[in-house]
Chain A
Amino acid sequence: MSFNSWSYALLLLVVFFAYWRLPWRGRIWLLLAASYVFYGCWDGRFLALLLTSTTVDFFCGLAIVGERRPVTHVAATAAVPFLWLGGYTLFRQQGAMVEHWILAAAAGFPVFFAVLYQLLWRLPAGRQRRAFLLLSLLTNLGVLGFFKYFNFFAGSALALAEHLGWSPGWLLPHVILPVGISFYTFQSISYAVDIFKGKAQPARDPVVFAAYLSFFPQLVAGPIERPNDLLPQFHRAAAWDTANFHRGLKLILVGLFKKVFVGDNCALVANYAFAPGVNLDAPWAILGSLAFAFQIYGDFSGYTDIARGSARLLGIHLNHNFNFPYFATSPSDFWRRWHITLSSWFRDYVYIPLGGNRGPVARMCFNLWLTMLLAGLWHGANWTFIIWGAYHGALLIFYRLTPGLEKFSQSSGWRAVVAMLAMFAFTLVGWAIFRCATFGAFVQWLGALGKWRAPEEILWWRPAIWVLCHALPLLALQFATWRAQDEVENATWPWSVRGLAYAAMFLAVATSSAGSVAFIYFQF
């Protein structure tokens, strides 16, 4: 169920009207049910994974602050994923089936988890908290690692073995990537870590916690929320606020504009430029990367806006994820503006624990580079993502180590413009790495930069007009909301201008030429 589908509009409409008529407890159940329907529409089997994460994190969160629950409660809750899978298998006769070994694992999980839970309580008091934190982290990272990276690492290891002359002839199982797994596991990790550090309090109601972890607007592609930001909003009934309603609708309209009008239409050009076998020259290589830059920004920030708008209609505030990233003047500025909740997650849970800026310069560089490498790997199991992370890590280090560069990027006037253009050029190279299917394809893209006239049948300047026609309205919107640094913030505009802008955006979305394109970040 994609945000730009009619089924989502219907779901949101039903939830919206029911939500404001229910008392607090009813709202929590409604959100939970809607979230599970939303997630189950992708693939019902993977709800079991979400339920497993929810169970482990709920009990571990409580255990970290020393609250013990009866083992029967633990076992009964841990049996829910198995019950779900069992029911799914019984009632689903065709299509995506649950394999027997997965059913067996789900059946064994309640016993295993209940025994482990009991055993960990026998540890000395000082080590209990750490052990439960570790259990939560290992479960989340294990699930993420297996479902997201098994194919990649096992495939790479086999390829290496064959390259070295050893061919075991193993057939690897094909593991399907559950949608949004990277987002909700990261949210789970921040929940456990923040409780461990004493920054947050655990949820004491399993339904509230399940609704928090699976909150449908941000479940599959963020923003990655921290427990202190989102969880308290589930503990109290939000009061109706017309301003929230207006802002929610505006966020959804702007989000659809960015996704459907800007992102999907720029994708038509980017898909051509990065298609296998296309013979690019330099203008096409640059245009392809430029089109992808607007595609991915429109797609992801559009998604975030719709997520924030949907939540806002329910009186729930989600964090900003973007802040005019292509106007960044340095790599560190870029990461303060692009996918803010992910970059701050890596800063707080990876970079700072590694040592951050403390220690010698070499250590700081290593920390920075490793963090970005992991951030790249987070995006997907592909060498191009790892190289993209390494590239951004190298950029950050380059700016830190080059004397005067950071200062130059913070200056104003023409220097700021130069810094902005330079950073945008670096960003375009990064997007080329990100978009290429293989490293070889990226090398070809780089090679194309040296060819100013390739035997290419399709002229580049015509598609360039198409990209400009879809990117310029977005830039105009950013220009008009520059002061507020928020594309939705138009309170200072005359109401007539606002009305015309809404009509124009609606028409731009409704008459979009591109077919429905899936959100890029759903695959992460």
Chain B
Amino acid sequence: MPRLIQPSFWLCLLVLAGAEIFLRCTLSPLAVAAFQYGHHPDSGFQETADGRVHLTPGPLRDFYEQTFFRERPPGVFRIFTLGNSVEYWDAVGSHILSNTYPARVAEELNRRGIRTESINLGVTGYGTVRNEILFRKALGYAPSLIIFKLDVTNEYLEKTTAARARAYKSLWPQDWLWKSYLIQTGFKLKETRLLEHTLFSVIRWTTPGHPAEKSAARPAVKLPFDETSRRALDECLQLAREHGVPVLLVTQAYKQRDGAGHFQISDYGLNDFVATRCGRGVAMLSLRQLLEKLPLEETFTDQVHLARPTHKLVARAIADAVEGQARAGTGK
């Protein structure tokens, strides 16, 4: 009769355990604990004793490297911009901070004589839920204005990462595997090296229940966000009002083809939804309204991301919208 546990099983166990121990010895918990990382308020923020805050690029909260003082210097108009890859990339695959519209807003306002500091908190793949965490964090750094870009594209990803974050913290046996560094690393490697390069857009646009898909199929649908996302946004706005921080809600525009193959622009109902949230301290800027008269082939680099000249244009529009406020805030 064969042995109950065979050498091949021992080897399998040894390989898995060895890899786990190796990763635990070589990688920092924050870098590997991927599922908590994206939802951990402090990841990516490094505060030093001299009162500075450093934003550091990381595997999951991949900020641009930026530094600012914890306390806002007097006379400075400080803007935090929350968004996703549209804010992170200045064109698809290219990320030069100074080319992105959040940086250009500061450039534009500085040119108009307003001392402005702009911190770009755009992280690729982020949606409303994770941006809410960043929003709360940003409120702690004395912002003069928070620009919150709303986009339905990442809502599917947002839900899966939120589910994983819950699984990471959970004590139920079905979530035990997610405690393993090996599984987490393998999962993230597959997601970032393979899935994002080969299948990301396919999944995002075909997952049943994806709000963008629903809106595309039924243009009458007015609310692209589900209850979780709406609640997250409302909590952000409530907090901003309590702190007396103005918020500019920027709504994403999407380039798509109509039945005849011509380009058209859509907001998937975002404008109508966001308009209901505007009011005391909350304003809105619609990218659809801003860009719809322009040649769409040159305005976007794909369905969502903006071309470099468009970043400039958006920055100018934001500067126009907030100039009065900025002058009042800095006493200019």
A-side residues, CB < 8 A to B, are 6, 241-243, 245-246, 268-269, 271-272, 275, 277-278, 455, 457-458, 462-463, 465-466, 469, 495-496, 498-500, 502-503, 506-507, 510-511, 513, 515
Binds A, one of B46-54, B112-120, B184-192, B279-287: B184-192
Chain A residues with CB under 8 Å of B3's CB are: 242
Once the chains bind, are B195 and A503 in contact (CB under 8 Å)? no
Q: CB within 8 Å of A: which of B159-192?
A: 160, 173-174, 177, 180, 182-183, 186-187, 189-191
The majority secondary structure among interface residues of chain A is helix
- 9 more contacts with CB within 8 A, not counting A242-B3, A462-B199, A498-B8, are A241-B1, A242-B4, A272-B205, A457-B257, A457-B303, A458-B201, A503-B11, A513-B194, A515-B160
Per the bound structure, the CA–CA distance linking A243 and B3 in Å amounts to 9
Are A500 and B12 also in contact (CB < 8 A) when A242-B3, A495-B7, A513-B195 are? yes
In the complex, residue of chain B having the shortest beta-carbon distance to the beta carbon of A496: B11
Per the bound structure, the CA–CA distance linking A369 and B147 in Å amounts to 66
20 contacts between A and B (CB under 8 A): A6-B173, A6-B174, A241-B1, A242-B2, A242-B4, A245-B4, A272-B203, A272-B205, A278-B206, A457-B303, A458-B202, A458-B205, A462-B198, A498-B8, A503-B15, A506-B16, A510-B187, A511-B183, A511-B189, A513-B187
The total of interchain contacts (Cβ-Cβ below 8 angstroms) comes to 99
Of A245, A246, A277, A455, most buried by chain B (CB within 10 Å of CB) is A246
Once the chains bind, are B186 and A246 in contact (CB under 8 Å)? no
Once the chains bind, are A511 and B11 in contact (CB under 8 Å)? no
Once the chains bind, are B15 and A500 in contact (CB under 8 Å)? yes
The minimal Cβ–Cβ distance linking B195 to chain A, given in whole angstroms, is: 5
Once the chains bind, are A268 and B203 in contact (CB under 8 Å)? yes
Per the bound structure, the CA–CA distance linking A272 and B195 in Å amounts to 15
Interface membership of B6, Cβ < 8 A: yes
Once the chains bind, are A462 and B197 in contact (CB under 8 Å)? yes
In the complex, residue of chain B having the shortest beta-carbon distance to the beta carbon of A277: B217
Chain A residues with CB under 8 Å of B295's CB are: none
Once the chains bind, are B8 and A495 in contact (CB under 8 Å)? yes
Per the bound structure, the CA–CA distance linking A363 and B183 in Å amounts to 58
Once the chains bind, are B1 and A242 in contact (CB under 8 Å)? yes
Interface size on B, residues (CB 8 A): 41
Interface membership of B331, Cβ < 8 A: no
Are A269 and B15 also in contact (CB < 8 A) when A466-B194, A496-B8, A513-B187 are? no
Chain B residues with CB under 8 Å of A498's CB are: 8, 11
In the complex, residue of chain B having the shortest beta-carbon distance to the beta carbon of A455: B261
Which one of B12, B15, B186, B205 contacts A511 once the chains associate, using CB atoms below 8 Å?
B186
Per the bound structure, the CA–CA distance linking A272 and B10 in Å amounts to 41
Once the chains bind, are B257 and A502 in contact (CB under 8 Å)? no
Per the bound structure, the CA–CA distance linking A502 and B6 in Å amounts to 12
Per the bound structure, the CA–CA distance linking A271 and B206 in Å amounts to 7
Chain A residues with CB under 8 Å of B257's CB are: 455, 457
Q: CB within 8 Å of A: which of B194-245?
A: 194-195, 197-199, 201-203, 205-206, 217
Which one of B182, B198, B302 contacts A507 once the chains associate, using CB atoms below 8 Å?
B182
Per the bound structure, the CA–CA distance linking A511 and B189 in Å amounts to 9
Chain B residues with CB under 8 Å of A278's CB are: 206
Once the chains bind, are B187 and A469 in contact (CB under 8 Å)? no
In the complex, residue of chain A having the shortest beta-carbon distance to the beta carbon of B183: A510
Per the bound structure, the CA–CA distance linking A272 and B6 in Å amounts to 43
Chain A residues with CB under 8 Å of B174's CB are: 6
In the complex, residue of chain B having the shortest beta-carbon distance to the beta carbon of A508: B186
Chain A residues with CB under 8 Å of B177's CB are: 510
Once the chains bind, are B12 and A503 in contact (CB under 8 Å)? yes
Chain A residues with CB under 8 Å of B261's CB are: 455
